[in-house]
Amino acid sequence: MHDMSGKTVLITGASRGIGADSARVFAQAGANVALVARGADAITSLAEEIGPQALALPCDVSTYADVSGAVAATRDKFGGLDVLIGNAGVIEPISHLATADPDAWGHVIDINLKGVFFGMRAALPGMLEAGGGTILTISSGAAHGPVEAWSHYCASKAGAAMLTRCLDKENGGKGIRAMGLSPGTVATQMQREIKASGINPVSQLDWSDHIPADWPAKALLWMCSADADDWVGQEISLRDPDIRARVGLT
């Protein structure tokens, strides 16, 4: 396990799924973890489970003031910020373009795309001043191909993937390690929502087809190590068996 002692990690969408498991994995590796999510009760409970190295920060990532406040509170508590994980994301309401509610469609963009940008914008100045940092974004196969009734999700994930590439383009030479992680389908609450929709082939997958949430969490930890430096500026796919082997997943 990559040693993160003395490092501070901020994780958005930390109340459940990949975010919650990432908090546990990074804390086990020695990191301070700032847990950011709208679900105050869930992140407070998780912080209590982890202990004094965890900080619960209720936050709506679709609001820049909330995100910048969470970054500032993290730095105040732990003295800095070394890693930002842009994990917060939603997929509901799943609907076809012709019948999609415009406001609800736009709110998914606010969380999945603008929320990623807000995190980058809030974290970057301090990281650049400190001489570097790692910014990891949760991507998806949906960033690279259309999926029926997921126009909001596909568009937002494609935008977030490009944001990550722009981040590397602008700051890769300044100590910023920017990467995306496409985990494949993961056994989380989002997959239950997808299953319930019954609309597209992803909703027809068996639960056993999905990987556990701690796999992407462990991959994110590995991405913070020098062993992942060859992938800086790129997107890593957990569907790749060579990557799984490199991370130590079976």
Q: Which residues belong to the active site?
A: 153
Those residues whose C-beta lies under 8 Å from the C-beta of residue 89, and which sit 6 or more positions away, are: 13, 111, 112, 115, 138, 153, 156, 157, 190
End-to-end Cα distance, the chain: 15
C-alpha span between 54 and 135 (Å, rounded): 19
Single-letter amino acid, residue 89: G
Residues β-bridged to residue 186: 211
Within 10 angstroms of residue 146's Cβ, the number of other Cβ atoms is 11
167, two tokens = 């981040």
CB-based contacts of 52: which residues, under 8 Å, 6+ apart? none
Tokens standing for residue 116: 């990623």
Closest CA to 78 of 32, 114, 118, 135: 32
How many CB atoms are closer than 10 A to CB 85?
30
SS3 58: strand
Look up residue 88 and give its amino acid: A
Residues facing 56 on adjacent strands = 35
